[in-house]
Homo-oligomer: A and B are copies of this chain.
Amino acid sequence: MTHAQTQAESRFDRGQRALSRIDGSAGEKVIASLADIAPDFARYVIEFPFGDIYCRPGLGLRDREIATVAALTALGNAAPQLKVHIEAGLNVGLSRDEIVEIMMQMAVYAGFPAALNGLFAAKEVFAAHDAKAVPSS
């Protein structure tokens, strides 16, 4: 393997490891769903947000997910991505209560409807989590 391939792979690979670690299977589903419409965009999602940004050492993953959950709740126009990042928040160490606190705080900056819709998204994600956690026996 040439050095060039190592380099090229490492940005993508680093991104894929970060995506797995942070978004888990929800992130992989997003990538898979791009395969037949915009495979290059799947690569960009892995390389730029995850390979470049989330891997930077200057801010921890828990802090980064606080920022993302807050921003997506405030913007209020990306419900599917918000759910992925509520999940991601849980994956990197935010508690359910902390996620709820972030959303309540967004009432101050983006209005009560944005906060309410964030809370209802969280409720859905938490319920799905609980459903998965129930033993099958």
Contacts and interface: CB of A to CB of B under 8 A. Distances in A.
Interface in A9-62: 30, 33-34, 36-38, 40-41, 44-45, 48-49, 52-54, 56, 58-59
A74 interface: yes
Contacts of A67: 66-67, 69-70, 102, 105-106
A88 interface: no
21 contacts: A3-B3, A33-B120, A34-B116, A36-B123, A56-B104, A58-B100, A59-B98, A59-B105, A63-B63, A66-B67, A67-B69, A67-B102, A70-B71, A70-B74, A71-B74, A77-B117, A78-B109, A80-B116, A81-B116, A81-B117, A108-B112
Task: Tell me whether chain A's interface is mostly helix, strand or loop, or mixed.
Answer: helix
Number of copies: 6
Contacts of A74: 70-71, 74-75, 111
Interface string A76-89: 11101100000000
B34 A102 contact: no
